Amino acid sequence: MPTLAAPRFATIATAATREQRIGVVAHRWNRQYRYDAAYKAAGFSEDEIAEGDALGYQESEEHFRLRCHYGDPAYGSWPKDVQTPVKDKIRDLMRIA
């Protein structure tokens, strides 16, 4: 029986391209704590960190807006067809071919 392979996503250690590094920063974006020292130690540029931070902030705002409208997703209250373009963009940036 054929199975589909799960998509692989870049991590801070495996991000090889500029897009993957921006996606990693955006995915790990946190309002309370910044990981800039870890990113710089891994060779990320200031521009990649800034773009990732901006994208991470946009994803946070998108999630907050949807959560206000649909409720907490942990309880299964979000419909299956909810559009999350920013989150999808971050996943596409992090995807490893």
Q: Which of 75, 61, 68, 67 is nearest to 29 (CA)?
A: 61
pLDDT by residue (tens digit) across 34-74? 899 999 999 999 999 999 999 999 999 999 999 999 999 88
Give the pLDDT of residue 1. 63
Statement: residue 97 has pLDDT above 80: no
Give the pLDDT of residue 3. 77
With contact defined as beta carbons under 8 Å apart, do 27 and 48 qualify? no
Q: What's the CA gap between 61 and 9, in Å, rounded? A: 22
- The larger pLDDT score, comparing residue 2 to residue 50, is at 50
Give the pLDDT of residue 5. 76
Give the pLDDT of residue 4. 76
| Residue linked to tokens 């054929």 | 2
Each as own residue / partner, the long-range contacts of residues 13-16 (CB below 8 Å, 24 or more positions apart, any chain) are 13/42, 14/96, 15/42, 15/44, 15/94
